[in-house]
């Protein structure tokens, strides 16, 4: 299990604020653990310094990435070839009143159920994406494929943005995609999940499954989505967080 997750009700001591995050580690869970320990703290600091929640989220991601690099200098390496802490893709949701901010790097995603329709609020940062591949090549990197025909940075990493991965930092950056949304009536829930879910279940199918089964409880929603992904063949770690806006029922359920 290389995933980590964080839930912070009453974020910054405010009942109207909430934070949820999933960190999906690769080459070990060290980077995911550091991110789970620090990113929400960095966001709290950045929100004091910046009037823009989106800019504050970006600052928090970049600060966490630096912390991971600093930890690697001070602590024994625990992951990839004992050379570094590995890395972690991340999706972070910050809610303040009716304002929702999503930040993500890599291929963990946030999906908003809005009036029965699924709306993805995150970006997939993968080496198969033409824009990401172009960015990496312009920076002097290479995109190659293994026998599995998956595009990878230097033939190794399928994602092009992540926290950590310091040995690849010239190409695998930690700058997140940011999405800011004003919540409104009809916004029913938010689903956060790692690729162990979304590689096997598309966004609308996830929303439809929950609606067709009349699942409103957040814990039951997590369990149903996890079981569906497993039934469809997922053999990866699965971590899911569901936020019910109407019920204010915030639950996480990792598959351990």
Residues 135 and 64 in one domain: no
pTM of the predicted model as reported, rounded to 2 decimal places = 0.92
| Domain span including residue 153 | 126-160
Quick one: CA dihedral 147, 129, 22, 220, positive or negative? negative
Residues 133 and 99 in one domain: no
Residues 154 and 165 in one domain: no
Tell how strand 3-9 and strand 143-145 pair up. Answer: unpaired
Residues 133 and 75 in one domain: no
| Contacts (Cβ under 8 Å, ≥6 apart) of 33 | 4, 23, 25
**Pick from 160, 180, 209: which residue ends a domain?**
160
Tally the domains of the chain.
Answer: 2
Q: What is the pLDDT of residues 4-46, one digit of tens each?
A: 999 999 999 999 999 999 999 998 889 999 999 999 999 999 9
Q: Cα dihedral angle (234, 235, 241, 247), rounded to 10 degrees?
A: 50
Residues 172 and 216 in one domain: yes
* Contact by Cβ (8 Å): 86, 31: yes
Closest CA to 42 of 71, 67, 5: 67
Q: What is the pLDDT of residues 103-129, one digit of tens each?
A: 999 999 999 999 999 999 999 999 999
* Contact by Cβ (8 Å): 177, 209: no
DSSP E strand stretches across the chain: 3-9, 17-26, 87-96, 99-105, 109-114, 117-120, 143-145, 151-153, 163-164, 177-182, 187-193, 238-244, 249-255
């Amino acid at each position: 299990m290389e995933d980590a997750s964080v839930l912070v009700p009453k974020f910054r001591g405010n009942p109207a604020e909430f934070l949820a995050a999933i960190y999906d580690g690769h080459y070990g869970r060290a980077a995911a653990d550091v991110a789970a320990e620090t990113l929400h703290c960095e966001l709290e600091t950045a929100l004091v310094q910046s009037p823009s929640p989106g800019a504050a989220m970006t600052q928090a991601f970049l600060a966490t990435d630096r912390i991971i690099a600093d930890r690697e200098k001070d602590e024994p390496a625990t992951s990839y070839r004992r050379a570094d802490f590995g890395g972690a893709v991340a999706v972070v949701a910050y809610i303040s009143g009716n304002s929702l901010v999503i930040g993500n790097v890599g291929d963990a995603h946030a999906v908003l159920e809005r009036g029965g329709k699924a709306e993805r609020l995150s970006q997939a940062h993968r080496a198969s994406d033409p824009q990401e591949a172009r960015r990496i090549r312009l920076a002097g990197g290479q995109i190659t494929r293994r026998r599995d025909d998956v595009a990878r940075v230097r033939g190794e990493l399928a994602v092009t943005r992540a926290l950590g991965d310091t040995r690849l930092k010239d190409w695998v950056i930690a700058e997140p995609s940011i999405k800011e949304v004003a919540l409104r009536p009809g916004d029913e829930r938010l689903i956060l999940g790692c690729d162990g879910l979304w590689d096997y279940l598309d966004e609308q199918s996830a929303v439809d499954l929950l609606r067709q089964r009349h699942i409103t409880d957040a814990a039951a929603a997590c369990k149903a989505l996890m079981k569906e992904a497993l039934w469809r063949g997922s053999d990866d770690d699965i971590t899911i967080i569901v936020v019910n806006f109407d019920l204010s029922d915030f639950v996480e359920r990792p598959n351990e």
